[in-house]
Structures are given as structure tokens and as C-alpha cells.
Structure 1
């Protein structure tokens, strides 16, 4: 009876999240409340479904983008992204050694922080021959910090009076997962959403050269999980930017797909929340969590400081 009730609550949460009755932050909060207060067995299903929905949501959000904005943000953010990734990887590895975090686990946390959270960890895990426990601890650390960032970043942005462009750039440089960048950007405003998503996706492209270089150095023949959804996002942006000029009726279709992407994103955030359980928090452990939190605070603080002073701008 109790198991059936928990299952029903899980499905109800998905339905309400998809309905548009609640926004992304409330969906995440509801998912966290479910995950931390109930005993359920939906962890694997939630992770698989959220991964698919996240990628589908990002592609659908591409139908709401303007190609000029995508190209401009990606080109302008390239140098910042390259510098940021190099710095974060170096600092993450150093912190891991200082805290005596297991080598593979430490590297996964550093890569997840430097590039794009769970997607980078999922792509690099097979290349590094990471075990399930190492993957779980790394993903758990990133997901916990993602949850905090989604709620905290908009508040800091409003307090600091950041423009939407500044906030979008900060979110893209300092928040781990694309889903949380999109969620925070959507909460802050349309321009913040566009800037944050495009710069973040440009940053996510670094998975490809990093995975190839790592596999080559390790002489590892493991399968590399390519982030094809980024290519589909760009294709969607191209269609949305040019097709309505020739077929005006398609503008409504693309707008509908964009709204569908936002609804899917809200469901993703609920599912991510349900995956954060008391067991997950215990598995993360103290030292990896300290490494992840310290690295994240340094990255978020330095990037916010540089953006606020105008040293980083689009």
C-alpha cells in the first residue's frame, strides 16, 4: 500500500511539473522533498528519463533561439570558456590531491565542474574506466550543487543588479549542468536564458576534444558518448531563424516546440530532485563534497567578480 502511494506521488509530481502549474524552482524543490522524505526505487528510471528529457528539452529550446544570438554568444564566450576550463581542471585536480580524494573520482568532479556536470561525467566515465560507485559519488556531488545553484543564483543576480546578459554568462560559466543553467536563466529572464544556454552549450562542446585526448593518452578504446543533442540544438536554431521567413506558419510550430522544451525541462528538474536521497548524500562523502563545494565557490565567486567589474562581457 505504501509503495503504491509513493509511486502515485512520483507520477503526480511528473504530471504537475509538465502541466505548467509550477515553475522550474518549485519542481526541483518538490523533487527534493520527495527524494529526501520517501523511500523509493526510481533512481535508475529517474536518471535515464531525465537524461533523455534534458537533451530533448535543449533541442526544443533551440527553436526559440535566434541564430545570430547563438553564434555571437558562442564566439564571444569561447575564450572565457577555454580559460575557465583550464583553470577549473587544474584547481580541481590540485584540491583532490590536497584532500586525498580518489584519483578518478577527483578528476570526474573536476571535469563535471569545468565543462557541463552530469553530461561530462557520463561521457568521461567510460574513458576513465570509472566504476559505478565513482560515477555515483561524482554525479551525486554535482547534482547536490546544481540544486543549490538553481535556487541561489537568481537571488544573487538580483541582489547584485546583474543585467540579464551578465547573469546568463555567469550562469553558463559557474553552474554545472545545462538543465540548471536553463532553469536559472528562465527564472531571471528571456535574454539570460538565451545567453546562458548558448554559452553553456558552446562550453559543453569541449567534451569532445577532452574525451578524445584522454582516450588517446590512456590508449583506451572505450566508447565515447558524443553530445549529439548539441548539434541538434544548433540545427533547431537554424530552422527557427530562417524557415519562418519563407513559411510564416511554421513560426507557431516552432513556438510550440519551444514551450514543450520548457515543460520538459521542468519535469527534468523534478526528476533530478527525486534522485537526491539521504543515501545519495551519504554516498557522496565528506572529502569529495568538500572538493566539489570549494571548487564551485571559487569558480562562481571569481567569475561573478570578473563579470561585475566588466572584465568578462559579451
Structure 2
């Protein structure tokens, strides 16, 4: 059996295995990445097309298992933290990019991805900046690698510091780039961590458009953000509202949320499948070091603030 045939057989089997209840988020992500690097992915275009869709529907499904009153209370409570941390992260990231000699728009894109929600923010800001394709690819690759690391590092740090689920979920939402990795890290930590992390991360995602427009004004481009709109946030709120205010839907909502959590594990496997040798080559050392340093500074500062009680859910 040649390598291509083996890959065509193994990928569907591995994807199906992620739907088993004992398959964890970190296992799925690492498994997808290892398969991609060792065998290549003959289904890469298909997986890429379905990743964003599956993530969106899984997040909506999570809403079916949550109380809307708790979701809104947490969202409004974190509004001030969100605005301050986004602005500080953007300013720090752009300053670091200049100091480290990261050329072009790459530093701004990585900073926006770190400040708000990873790849979605990069996709929205890139057209406003008239970013070149290679600049966007480098920024996305950098964020992808750090997201993969976060799925392993954050739960390990949380357990090492004996963090409760609530502060861990809060920290994850503030310091991990993409919604998928926030959900993955919190999912492995516990249900309370997941509820808080998803709520706060979706609240941060609402800032994509105003931040993109603001960057456009500062750069005097006057363009509009053309990135994908995070429509699944509305779906999440509608699902939570139905489960909260229609009693007969409460129990089915719990079952939907359980299926959605496993759907997120499959999503992380699909994300891992996108890690190729070409992605690693595109990133380059200097942009990656910029993204890594910014991530460590933001993650360390928010962790210290959460542990000190200055930021709390």
C-alpha cells in the first residue's frame, strides 16, 4: 500500500475516532497535526472548507446548554476588561513589531489576532490594511502554531497552579487567540471553565468590526472590514435563550450541548490537519518570535491579574 492510499484510509478513520467520548481536545489537535506532517492530507481543501462551519455550529450547540441570564451577566461584567485588554494588546504588539523589525503589515495582523480572536480578526483586518497574501499567511501561521501550543500549555499551567475552573476559563478567554482553542482548552478543564470561556470569548469577538474600522481610520485607508462576520454569536445567544425561556427545550438542549462539545473535538482535529511543512516554512523566525513574545506577555500579565483578583469572572 502506497503512502497516498494509506493517507486516504487513515484520515477518515482518525476523524471518526475524534467523535468517541474519550477523545480529548489536545489529543485531536496533536493527532491531526502529526498525521498532516507525516503523511500529508489529501483532504486538506475539504477539511478547510468544513472547519469554520463545524466550529460555528458547535458553538451554537454549546449555547443550547447554557443559561442566557448567566451568559449576559458575564458578558456585561467583562465589557470593561475586554476594551482595555484589546487596546493594550494592540498597542504593545505594534510597538514590539517595530522594535523587532517585523516588516509590513504582519506585526499589525498578529497583534490584532492576539488582541481579539486569532484568525477571524486577521481575516477582518487584512483587507482594511490592503495586506499582501504572504503577510496574511505568515500572521495566520503564527497564530495557528501558538493556538496549538495553548491547548497543551494552558491546562497544564492551570493544574500546576491549582486554578479553579472559573478563573481558568476567564484567563483562557483573555489570553488564547482563536475561539476554537479557547473552547478546546476550557473543555479539557471542566464545564464551568467552558461556560465562562465561551461567553467572554464571544463577547470579545464582537469587537472585530470596530477594531478593523478603527485600524483603517488610523491608517487612512477608509476601507471596510471584509472578513467573515461572526454570525454564530447570534446563533449562540438564540440557542441559549430558547433553552432558558422554553422549559420543554431545556433537557434536549443539554443533549445538543453534549454533541456540540464532541463536535468541537472534531473541529480541533481538522484545524490540526492544516499544519503542514509549507505552513512552518512560511512563518519564519522573526514574525513567530514577535507573536510568541506578545502572547507570553499578554498571557503572563492576565494570569497575574486573575490570580491577584484584579480580573475575575
In the superposition, the TM-score normalised over structure 1's length comes to: 0.94
Query: In structure 2, the residue corresponding to 1:218 is in which secondary structure?
Result: coil
1:41 CA displacement: 4.3
- Contact 1:211–1:224 (Cα < 8 Å) also in 2: no
- Indicate yes or no: 2:218 matched with 1:219: no
Equivalent positions of 1:67-146 (< 5 A) are 67-146=68-147
**Runs ≥4 residues deviating over 4 A:** none
Residue aligning to 2:281: 282
CA distance in 2, matches of 1:222, 1:55: 20
Equivalent positions of 1:186-265 (< 5 A) are 186-215=187-216, 217-221=220-224, 223-244=226-247, 248=248, 250-265=249-264
- Indicate yes or no: 2:170 matched with 1:169: yes
Q: Structure 1 unaligned runs (5+)?
A: none
- Indicate yes or no: 2:53 matched with 1:57: no
Once structures 1 and 2 are overlaid, which stretch shifts more, 5-14 or 177-186? 5-14
Q: 1:131 to 1:45 in 2, by over 3 A?
A: farther
Once structures 1 and 2 are overlaid, which stretch shifts more, 124-133 or 269-278? 124-133
CA distance in 2, matches of 1:64, 1:147: 26
CA distance in 1, matches of 2:295, 2:91: 13
Q: 1:161 to 1:222 in 2, by over 3 A?
A: closer
1:222 CA displacement: 6.1
- Contact 1:36–1:278 (Cα < 8 Å) also in 2: yes
CA distance in 2, matches of 1:284, 1:45: 23
- Contact 1:96–1:103 (Cα < 8 Å) also in 2: no
Once structures 1 and 2 are overlaid, which stretch shifts more, 205-214 or 133-142? 205-214
CA distance in 1, matches of 2:230, 2:125: 12
- Contact 2:209–2:225 (Cα < 8 Å) also in 1: no
CA distance in 2, matches of 1:296, 1:47: 25
CA distance in 2, matches of 1:54, 1:33: 21
CA distance in 1, matches of 2:109, 2:125: 7
Q: 1:12 to 1:131 in 2, by over 3 A?
A: farther
- Contact 1:178–1:200 (Cα < 8 Å) also in 2: yes
Once structures 1 and 2 are overlaid, which stretch shifts more, 52-61 or 204-213? 204-213
Residue aligning to 2:307: 308
CA distance in 1, matches of 2:46, 2:105: 25
Query: In structure 2, the residue corresponding to 1:130 is in which secondary structure?
Result: coil
In the superposition, the TM-score normalised over structure 2's length comes to: 0.94
Residue aligning to 2:267: 268
Aligned length: 310
CA distance in 2, matches of 1:52, 1:84: 28
What's the C-alpha RMSD, in Å, of the aligned pairs? 1.5
1:22 CA displacement: 1.0
Q: Structure 2 unaligned runs (5+)?
A: none
1:227 CA displacement: 1.2
